[in-house]
Structure 1
Amino acid sequence: MADLPEAARRHGIGEHAIALLLHKGPGAHPSSADHPLRARLDRSPDGEFVLTAPTLSFVEATNDVNTGALTCVVGKEVVLMCELGDADVIGHAVEKLTGGYPVPDEGVHQVLAAVVLSLVAEASDVEIALGDAVADVERLVFSSARHHNPLEKIYDLKREIAEARRALGPVTSVLPELIAEAEESRERRHSQPWLGRAVAWVDRLDKHLDGYDDLLGDMLSVHLSQVSVRQNEDVRKISSWAAIAAAPTLVASIYGMNFHHMPELSWTLGYPLAIAVMGGVCFTLYRLFRRSGWL
């Protein structure tokens, strides 16, 4: 990224565009968690412009969304690009241009079209991967078997979706500027439709990500409700067993009192009868609790 201004100077890019690259490129203002990279399109008085946009990639092993940076310097006859991160947008753009795939527009703008479409396509792949991850969490939450607490996975996915939306959202502000740039150029007015499709594509991706985030919020509410229901079931079971244990404890505590005149103390069958009564009471309570669904 630091070599891009010098490369632009060697290939005849004007000083105005190089100044924009130096002062407004991603290297001039490093992004952070509080101030992420913002997509922007800066035009110079010479008609050249600098496009800076975040990129997205997805790590399937950890369900992480990684963001990078893409910078394009578009001159009259040359396009210089530099990319940070592992999205490989430039590689996919080169494949489009050299592999015989139909790419709209013409000249240097055709290269730009390949880059923008590749960037949005990579974001689409990330959206699809996030959708699959959300579906996996949904199956986990609604599984009837006892499993590990899915709260961590839900919150992790919500964070990654927020990361994807934070990187994808600013792209929607750049695409209209590209449309305006094409409208100002009379000879390029016929090449605007692909930009409109790109805008619709990005809007659709953002709506899908918003839907995934809402679905995760619903799953979080469902999981908390399930936890509450299970806790109520556990409380009822504990209460039932406590009631069953209280019956023999009550009888035993009465006969454990140090009084001489108590019923059946001198009767031979008194002890077996007390044990039988305690067992019968416990069995009756057990049957009642089982019938009511508490056990």
Structure 2
Amino acid sequence: MASSRLHTRTDHAVVDCGVYMDGTRTPGEVTYLDAIRRVRSEGRGFVWLGLLAPDAHQMASLASEFGIHELITEDATNGAQRPKLEAYDDALVLNLAAVEYLAHDTLNDVSAIVSTGEAMVILGRDFVVTVRHGEFGELAGIRSELEKSPDRLAQGPASVMHAVADRMIDSYLEVADEIRQDVDELETALFQPRADVDIEQIYLLKREILELKHNISPLTRPLQRLSLDHLELVPREIRHYFRDVQDHHARAVAEVAVLDEQMTSLVGAAVAMVGVRQNTDMRRISAWVAIAAVPTMIAGVYGMNFENMPELNVSYAYFLVLAIMAGICVGLFWIFRKNDWL
């Protein structure tokens, strides 16, 4: 009874489950339990099970039927794993970050431009389990594409791992291209005359590029192993495909590194521009303070309550003092304007 309840819970996480014989999916719907028993009883084919954010009960049920190590089920349940490749006695586990670019009109309208999820591929001799966490990293399209290429599926469950990795790496390149447009637009706006660019936009873009970099860079070593190491679960032909994925990944890493360097330069330029603006503002404030100080000083002198002061008894003294104040202020204004302080 307890086992039945576990299976029912697992069904809630199942996105799709299929049995593949000689590269072709067998017709009809099938539960993961019936699928793995059929494959193992016939001694051929493999099961491809897709899961979405399974919990501990769901993975426990799956592990008992597929023979998956408890450490794998723990990672699949918790999610938030760094991209990595782990080898067990009878399984390979590949963790990948799934990224998606969030379209927007301007950087002022958003607080993030890259959203991330996670995709995990658990590869066994007669099964492959794809686990997805987050709203991104949709894998349904991969299944339909592979089912149109039975020759690839006939190479075994490792072909699914390659297809998932290939899709994820392609998404890295797509996101990098979208971000490059944002960087170019921001760079153009920053270096325009009288540019009015909010430095927070630059910091936002810099942060998103760093997040993308941290999500894709750790895959370098896992892809090298999949393309070069003689892993028993990865046929030679599939290793050739992984070399192509490795090349695409290297290109994505290089493009993100260039974007990161470009944003570092923009941050420096923006900080310098802010400093220049502050200096300009301080000069203007100082100039106006200097102009205002002259009449303040003169008015302060003649505001002292002394009986014997020059021009106090002259009838035109008031107008003379005002004229002197105005003349000095106009002269200072002209000097400051000539020197671009105002």
Same fold by TM-score, threshold 0.5 exceeded?
yes
Show CA shifts across 1:140-199 (max 9, x none).
Answer: 443444646323x33333332232222212322221222245x567x9545544322211
> Residues of 1 paired with 2:209 and 2:154: CA distance?
32
Q: Which runs of 5+ in 1 are unaligned?
A: none
Structure 2 matches for 1:28-177, cutoff 5 A?
28=76, 30-32=78-80, 36-45=81-90, 49-61=92-104, 62=110, 63-76=112-125, 79-97=128-146, 106-145=155-194, 147=196, 149-151=198-200, 153-177=201-225
- The question of whether the paired residues in 2 share the 8 Å contact of 1:141 and 1:150 is answered with no
> Residues of 2 paired with 1:155 and 1:132: CA distance?
16
2:293 aligned partner: 246
Selected match of 2:248 from 185, 193, 201: 201
The amino acid that maps onto 1:162 is: L
- The question of whether the paired residues in 1 share the 8 Å contact of 2:126 and 2:157 is answered with yes
Of stretches 282-291 and 253-262 in structure 1, the one that deviates more from structure 2 is: 253-262
1:291 aligned partner: 338
> Residues of 2 paired with 1:127 and 1:21: CA distance?
36
- The question of whether the paired residues in 2 share the 8 Å contact of 1:75 and 1:108 is answered with yes
Of stretches 88-97 and 214-223 in structure 1, the one that deviates more from structure 2 is: 88-97
How many residue pairs match? The answer is: 288
TM-score with structure 2 length normalisation? 0.70
Q: CA RMSD in A?
A: 3.6
- The question of whether the paired residues in 2 share the 8 Å contact of 1:54 and 1:70 is answered with yes
- C-alpha displacement of 1:290: 0.5
The 1:276/1:49 distance shift into structure 2, 3 A limit, reads closer
> Residues of 2 paired with 1:166 and 1:84: CA distance?
18
Structure 1 consecutive aligned stretches of length 4 or more whose deviation exceeds 6 Å: 13-17, 102-105
The amino acid that maps onto 2:176 is: E
- C-alpha displacement of 1:17: 10
2:48 aligned partner: none
- C-alpha displacement of 1:293: 0.9
Report % sequence identity: 24
- The question of whether the paired residues in 1 share the 8 Å contact of 2:176 and 2:255 is answered with yes
Q: Which runs of 5+ in 2 are unaligned?
A: 1-8, 18-30, 41-62, 105-109
> Residues of 2 paired with 1:16 and 1:154: CA distance?
50
1:7 aligns with 2:56: no
The 1:9/1:119 distance shift into structure 2, 3 A limit, reads farther
The amino acid that maps onto 1:273 is: L
